[in-house]
Chain A
Amino acid sequence: MEIEKLKAIAKEMRVDIIRMLTEAGSGHPGGSLSCIDIIVTLFFSKLRYKPDDPNWADRDRFVLSKGHCVPALYAVLAKLGTLPHDELLSLRKLNSRMQGHPDRSRTPGIEASTGSLGQGLSVALGMAMAGKTMKKDYRVYCMISDGESQAGQVWEAAMAAPKFKLDNLCVLLDYNKIQLSGAVRDIMNLEPLAEKWRAFNWNVMEIDGHDFGAILKALNDAEKVKDKPTLILCHTIKGKGVSFMEGKWEWHGKSPNREEGERAVQEILARN
């Protein structure tokens, strides 16, 4: 039941992502489509969040460190009602709140301004530290990409979280294995990736990032871990849901034209 609901929402979100990017004429479909199942599961089955009060002090926080994939987050915030749905098509346009990368001062529901890769996890870390210091029970989720894991600051934050025993921090790593100009293993290999995080003293889980049941279970399991932050290594497919985008680095940062967009939407709607 729950899984069917999430599946249906994710499908709807994929359509919104493609429509937004087609209308915008630029943007990042590949990574938005690879992470959407995770974000949908988080927001619709887990996150303590009031759509009409996005600044509620006790909310769980979600920081999208891979900021270029913000269309996925806008789609979800619109579905929840934090953003009006008809605003989605103003993505990347002048005077729009739908900035090309997340801007927390302009857009309700955006927790941190990101888009310069490698920085969001530090901000999430600070939110988790503040939660512990103020003895609040909110949780902080942060989504990072594989490409951005090449940035040293990610590992500075990775080193710090276990020191402060941040069991209220959960990182979702969208491991779609492709970055802007090629395969991650060719640009700058991250492997052995799970072992790296384990060596940094994190609780590490490894799942299929398109399996809603597995995502939900991992999120639930992460909550039970004490005194340690959790990293969920989510194996995903770049461009997931649109056959001509799947696994293609060319679709990292290129928006579909009208014809491609329509083909993509029809395919998403036709798939189970």
Chain B
Amino acid sequence: MAGKATRTAFGETLARLGAENPRIVVLDADLSKSTMSDFFASKFPDRFFDMGIAEGNMVGAGAGMALAGMIPFICSFATFVVGRFEQIRMSVGYSRANVKIVGTHCGIGIGPDGYSQMALEDIALMRSLPNMAVVQPGDAIEAERAVEYIARHDGPVFLRLTRQNLNDVNPPDYKFEFGKGVVLRPGRDMTIMATGGVVGNALKAAALLAQKQVDAQVVNIHTIKPIDRDLIGRVAYSQGKILTVEDHGIVGGLGSAVAEVVAELGRGRVKRVAVEDYAESGDPDGLYKKYGLSEDNIAAKALELLHD
């Protein structure tokens, strides 16, 4: 199955929501054909604003529109928009502006464009702002439902999306619950917590582990902030061992968020699978193998954690 990119599901959903809610406006920085905000632009040209390659100004303008009562979705590659951290910190976060920051092309999964276009520090940055929610869907269905929710959510949100197509990990009748992790596969021995484009890889890794008589639970953490402390706590107290998997740098992402909770609980162990270098160009599968996000490496890390 070819699957669908979460950016595509985002673009289609936003264009649908635009008809229902006249307060939704969309700003982009000359990447609308890639972020898929183009769908909205063609349906609602009067509520779409191309700000040119000037993301700092786009962040501020989005904040101004939000403060005037609109619901702006500001879109670019995640690394370019989140790269304007100080503008987001001041004009969005500190100003309590209801801006939806949409970052596509996250992680090494984008492939041949290489490091400059790969967002690998964005979750760490956005997670550090007190009122910023961070959401990363793991398939197109979840992206659709998450966008519907985010448009209603009162407050700033960072939505992190993939360039690459993803196979479905959720059923068609899936309901998005903000802040709640989703158990995709029950298991007794340990838990793999994954987010975004690599949730599918985590499920495949669990299948590999099953062949080795290891029964791994797989949990999809679509909301990285606020993190699902209850679920992490339950796992820490029952199974103890948690492997986190994400297409993001190893500092400050999902792994850090989970480890913070576990450290405060004083129960359980965490091992992080994430990107540990500046990465490079290549085909996505090859990059996942080289940087440790392939299913066999995830399974290997799970075994290390289990037997440690």
Complexed CA–CA distance, A157 and B47 (Å):
18
- Establish whether residues A119 and B25, one from each chain, have CB atoms under 8 Å apart when the complex forms: no
* CB contact between B91 and one of A57, A122, A159, A164 (< 8 Å): that residue: A122
Q: In the complex, what residues of A have CB within 8 A of residue B96's CB?
A: 104-105
Segment among A68-76, A128-136, A185-193, A223-231 that sits at the interface with chain B: A128-136
129-150 of chain B: CB within 8 A of chain A: none
Task: Scan A133-164; emit 1 where CB is below 8 A from any B CB, else 0.
Answer: 11000000000000000001100110110001
- Establish whether residues A57 and B90, one from each chain, have CB atoms under 8 Å apart when the complex forms: no
* CB contact between A130 and one of B54, B60, B70, B95 (< 8 Å): that residue: B70
- Establish whether residues A116 and B25, one from each chain, have CB atoms under 8 Å apart when the complex forms: no
Contact A153 B87, CB 8 Å, known A111-B67, A159-B52: yes
Number of A-B contacts (CB under 8 A): 110
In the assembled complex, the CB of B123 is this many whole angstroms from the nearest CB of chain A, namely: 23
- Establish whether residues B64 and A122, one from each chain, have CB atoms under 8 Å apart when the complex forms: yes
Contact A125 B69, CB 8 Å, known A105-B96, A116-B90: no
Complexed CA–CA distance, A115 and B90 (Å):
8
Q: Which residue of B lies closest to A126 (CB)?
A: B64
83-105 of chain A: CB within 8 A of chain B: 103-105
In the assembled complex, the CB of A131 is this many whole angstroms from the nearest CB of chain B, namely: 7
Q: Which residue of A lies closest to B87 (CB)?
A: A119
In the complex, whether B57 has a CB less than 8 A from a CB of chain A is yes
What is the predominant secondary structure among interface residues of chain B facing chain A?
A: helix
Q: In the complex, what residues of A have CB within 8 A of residue B65's CB?
A: 126-127, 129-130, 133
Complexed CA–CA distance, A61 and B59 (Å):
19
In the complex, whether B56 has a CB less than 8 A from a CB of chain A is yes
Task: Scan A40-73; emit 1 where CB is below 8 A from any B CB, else 0.
Answer: 0000000000000000010001010000000000
- Establish whether residues A112 and B67, one from each chain, have CB atoms under 8 Å apart when the complex forms: yes
In the complex, whether A180 has a CB less than 8 A from a CB of chain B is no
In the assembled complex, the CB of B130 is this many whole angstroms from the nearest CB of chain A, namely: 11
In the complex, whether B253 has a CB less than 8 A from a CB of chain A is no
- Establish whether residues A122 and B60, one from each chain, have CB atoms under 8 Å apart when the complex forms: yes
In the assembled complex, the CB of A159 is this many whole angstroms from the nearest CB of chain B, namely: 7
Complexed CA–CA distance, A125 and B65 (Å):
8
Complexed CA–CA distance, A34 and B45 (Å):
42
Task: Scan B53-74; emit 1 where CB is below 8 A from any A CB, else 0.
Answer: 0101111111111111110100
- Establish whether residues B95 and A127, one from each chain, have CB atoms under 8 Å apart when the complex forms: no
- Establish whether residues A123 and B49, one from each chain, have CB atoms under 8 Å apart when the complex forms: no
Complexed CA–CA distance, A105 and B97 (Å):
10
- Establish whether residues B64 and A156, one from each chain, have CB atoms under 8 Å apart when the complex forms: no
- Establish whether residues B51 and A160, one from each chain, have CB atoms under 8 Å apart when the complex forms: yes
Q: In the complex, what residues of A have CB within 8 A of residue B68's CB?
A: 61, 126-127, 130-131, 134
Interface contacts beyond A114-B90, A122-B56, A133-B65: sample of 4 additional A-B pairs, CB < 8 Å, sorted by A: A133-B47, A153-B57, A159-B54, A159-B57
A-B contact pairs, 8 of them (CB 8 A): A105-B96, A112-B63, A126-B63, A126-B72, A127-B64, A130-B69, A131-B68, A156-B57
* Residues of B bordering A, CB below 8 Å: 25, 46-47, 49, 51-52, 54, 56-70, 72, 86-87, 89-91, 94-96
